Amino acid sequence: MPNYSNLKQDLEDVSDLLLALGNENRQAIIIRLLEENSCAGIQIDKLTAATSLSRPAVSHHLKVLKDAKIVDYHKIGTKNFYYLKHDVSEISKLQNFLTKVTKIMTKEQKQ
């Protein structure tokens, strides 16, 4: 029988990412940032237009995405420019977790 306690820890490690990805508004923000495909980033106005959300709502979603280490920003004067982080370690953690689960499920199915 596999050691599921390791999987529990792996799942805890990706819980913020899963929470961030599970919301349609955050998904729309991620897609918009992917469409921009710019390290320079985009301002919140473009994100409010893409999501039809208020500025405070987009700010809240950006905070969740920043906490999940998906989005970052830089300032130029008083303006913030948001972009997808190039560090994909959180996504790699999720991939590793899913790979382990898939192997267990496939192995159990064969038995």
Query: At what angle are helices 44-51 and 55-67 packed, to 10 degrees?
Result: 100
- How many domains, in total, are found in the chain? 1
Give pLDDT tens digits along the chain (111 positions). 567 888 899 999 999 999 999 999 999 999 999 998 777 899 999 999 989 999 999 999 999 999 999 999 999 999 999 999 988 898 999 999 999 999 888 886 665
Give the position of tokens 């799942």: 11
Report yes or no on 7 lying in a domain: no
Range(s) of the domain holding residue 73: 12-110
Domain assignment present for 1: no
Model-wide pTM > 0.85: no
Q: In whole angstroms, what is the distance from residue 61 CA to residue 2 CA?
A: 37
Specify the CATH number for the domain of residue 65.
Answer: 1.10.10.10
Residue 17 lies in a domain: yes
16 lies in some domain: yes
